[in-house]
A and B are shown apart, each in its own frame.
Chain A
Amino acid sequence: MALIQIAEPGESTTAHQHKLAVGIDLGTTNSLVATVRSGEVSTLPDSSGQHLLPSVVHYAENAIHVGSEAQSYSVTDPLNTVVSVKRFMGRGIEDLAVEETHYSYEFSETNSVIPRIKTRAGDLSAVEISAEILKALKTRALETLGDEINGAVITVPAYFDDAQRQATKDAAKLADIKVLRLLNEPTAAAVAYGLDSGNQGVIAVFDLGGGTFDISILRLNNGVFEVLATGGDSSLGGDDFDYVIAQWMIEQAGMDDMGDPASKRLIMQQARAAKEALAGAESTGVSLDLGDIHWQGTLDREILKALIMPLIKKTLMSCRRALRDADIEKNNIDEVVMVGGSTRTLAVREMVAEFFECEPLTSIDPDKVVATGAALQADVLVGNKPDDEMLLLDVIPLSLGIETMGGLVEKIIHRNTGIPVAKAQDFTTYKDGQTAMAVHVLQGERELVADSRSLARFELRGIPPQVAGAARIRVTFQVDADGLLIVSAREENSGVEASIDVKPSYGLSDSEVETMLRESMEHAEDDMHSRSLREQQVEADRVLEALDSALAVDGEQLLSDQERSEIMDVRQILVEVKSDTDKEKIKQTIERLEKACENYVARRMNSNIKSAMQGHSIEEYASDERSEAEES
């Protein structure tokens, strides 16, 4: 017997046509599923009352375990127990090299660009492993709701690139979950606090989990969220708090180091327990009982604060950077939302409050807040709330553009633009009679192609042969609500077109995104110089190209040998200096060549006008002018 939930007025469904939707927080350390029932949102616990599902998958001989069950195998069977798989979503083999953390499991040596983890169930990709976590959450939802799930909103970090978003969608597909949309985690947190009901404001979302830290600055405008900036540290979290507490403990106990892995695990557990106790108490007793070491001490909030101060300061530095990126002053922040278990530590709350000069929102369980927001959004998207046209805007993390002459990047969509978005820009041909154009899609903030990340290439063919600059090629970049990119190019005069779905082979980590952004700041001046140099070189090429094609047409008729050789001399100088790095010299030589050609250009103009006017009387032109004047 199916049990019935209360619907909004007029939104009752007929039997077997329930509009059930869930929100899924697919986290690095823990995952959750939440739903709205009878107008009330809640995360769904498993049969033992646990809401958090550890994002751990264990491959046994004949079974797959997910969650706390799998966690217990991380010690006994580390090679077949996968943790933190989210870090590899949409990532390539090269990306693994930059990852500092070491994992207990092994990667297989394959030629594939996708890293695969060796398990007894075969070599598995991050997508396949994530799908197991999603399946476990889906099963929990089915058991709880007693019916099929119509769709899910799955949250992803705001900095996730196209490849990482696509990988998340692929995992959902494998788990047979219909994705209503992907939602940025900070946006979900803001929705959970009902901040979307306000009219406008700027919101900072401070997300400190077990192993990662993210700060996002959102702007709310008429119920629409726009991510202004994101930042953070992919290897900073509550685990680091535990580590500094453990260090303090062994120092107090007079030990040199943490000893073997078993004693290290024990000390870390003690440290963690002490940290959690201090969320509710002023001080707590700590003790170490290892071999011949017996130590007892007291850890209070003051000591804890002093210990973790350097770590919190690191998070605040990221906050400062994100504010600068967003071009927002601290006092313009209206609300600060706390997300992630580590924000339970009082020292964190205090310092964040001090930094933003406002009391952060902490009333919703920081572990559940993202899933809660996702469930609320899923409920709207599946059609349970007709009045509420909530449409959330997300952002692209890095600018998207195409390569232009001279190896320069022309940005078409700038970073932090809200999505969905479509932007077009017109380009033209560079050479006479050019019939094809290569479109090279790039991502990044730098000015030169060599410093950017290549996403895709395609060619627009069949452009009718015309003089250089006559063709009108409109390149359109379209990013859908999930952040996936489609690039199309169309020659407007002939209508020929070509397009590509950017299926990125692998993505960037947040630290790489950060590196790319930082480099673009650090190299801003170099980039400016190299851009103007390249522009000058391209201009030189263009002038030479135009001169050569003109000389080929009427150079013989209009110029004496002496004039010709004068022009050719300057032309030769330009050919030599254009590969120089002195842009001023190139510019001066271009001017010199133009000056040398002045007479030639004038004669060409006259002869063109003469040929154009041949067979027409002056009166015809005069009457044309008159009629134009009358019209205007």
Chain B
Amino acid sequence: MAITLTEPAAERVRTFLANRGKGVGLRLGVKTMGCSGMSYVLEFVDDINPEDEVFEDSGVKVIVDKKSLVYLDGTELDYTREGLNEGFKFNNPKEKAACGCGESFTV
């Protein structure tokens, strides 16, 4: 079971955490909502919970709760730029279908 970050993603997360001035890592997760069933969660982490799994990649602690991990295993988090817009992207091998906007998905 693993979650990885691309180098651009890791670099951005390190910068954001440094700017924020606090926080132990980055939380990836899923929420059951959205037009295709689930949506991704991406948050700063101040406290690690007992049910969390912690991965470390490129100097960034990636925190995922066990329930979300089922849906996210094998995911690679990338940081890309599309036109003026830039942000994180979940490359999730388990994702079968995404809604048109790509914000929610089904497995």
**Residues on A close to B: CB < 8 A?**
1-12, 14-16, 37-40, 44-47, 140, 143-146
Contact = CB atoms under 8 A, between A and B. Distances in A.
Nearest to B103: A15
B87 A39 contact: no
A3 B43 contact: no
Given A4-B40, A6-B13, A39-B20, A144 B101 contact: no
Given A2-B103, A38-B16, 16 more contacts: A2-B101, A3-B82, A3-B86, A3-B88, A4-B90, A4-B103, A7-B42, A8-B43, A12-B42, A14-B34, A39-B19, A39-B20, A39-B44, A46-B84, A143-B83, A143-B84
Interface of B: 12-13, 15-16, 19-20, 26-27, 29, 31, 33-35, 39-47, 80, 82-90, 98-99, 101-104
A140 B13 CA distance: 25
A40 B19 contact: yes
B4 to A, nearest CB: 16
Contacts of B13: 6
Closest 10 pairs (CB-CB, A-B): A3-B87, A15-B34, A1-B102, A14-B33, A15-B103, A15-B39, A15-B104, A144-B84, A12-B41, A146-B85
Contact of B16 (A6, A9, A144): A6
Contact of A39 (B16, B29, B90, B98): B16
A268 to B, nearest CB: 33
8 contacts: A1-B102, A2-B87, A3-B82, A6-B42, A6-B88, A15-B99, A40-B15, A47-B84
A12 B15 CA distance: 20
Contacts of B33: 14-15
B101 A7 contact: no
Contacts of B40: 4
Nearest to A13: B39
Nearest to A18: B103
A144 B87 CA distance: 10
A421 B43 CA distance: 37
Nearest to A46: B84
Contact of A12 (B12, B43, B47, B99): B43
Contact of B44 (A3, A4, A9, A143): A9
Contacts of B103: 2, 4, 15-16
Given A15-B35, A40-B16, A145 B85 contact: yes
Nearest to B26: A6
Contacts of A144: 84-85
B43 A11 contact: yes
Contacts of B27: 9
B44 A8 contact: yes
Nearest to B20: A39
B86 to A, nearest CB: 6
A5 B3 CA distance: 18
Nearest to A145: B85
A interface SS class? loop
A45 B13 CA distance: 22
Contacts of B80: 3
A210 B13 CA distance: 38
A16 B34 contact: yes
B40 to A, nearest CB: 6
A45 B84 CA distance: 8
Contacts of B44: 6-9, 39
B77 to A, nearest CB: 9
B30 to A, nearest CB: 10
Nearest to A45: B84
A34 to B, nearest CB: 14
Given A4-B87, A143-B85, A15 B101 contact: yes
A534 B29 CA distance: 73
Nearest to A143: B84
B35 A4 contact: no
B35 A7 contact: no
Given A6-B43, A9-B46, A15-B34, A37 B84 contact: no
A37 B16 CA distance: 9
Nearest to A1: B102
Given A3-B87, A40-B16, A40-B19, A9 B43 contact: yes
A72 to B, nearest CB: 23
Contacts of A45: 84
Nearest to A37: B87
Contacts of A14: 31, 33-34, 39, 104
Nearest to A6: B42
B84 A44 contact: yes
A45 B83 CA distance: 11
B90 to A, nearest CB: 7
A144 B83 CA distance: 8
A7 B29 CA distance: 12
B16 to A, nearest CB: 5
A46 B44 CA distance: 28
Contact of B42 (A1, A5, A46): A5
Given A1-B102, A6-B44, A11-B43, A38 B85 contact: no
| Residue of A3, A140, A143, A145 most packed against chain B (CB within 10 A) | A3
Contacts of B90: 4
B99 to A, nearest CB: 7
Nearest to B82: A3
| Residue of B40, B98, B102, B103 most packed against chain A (CB within 10 A) | B103
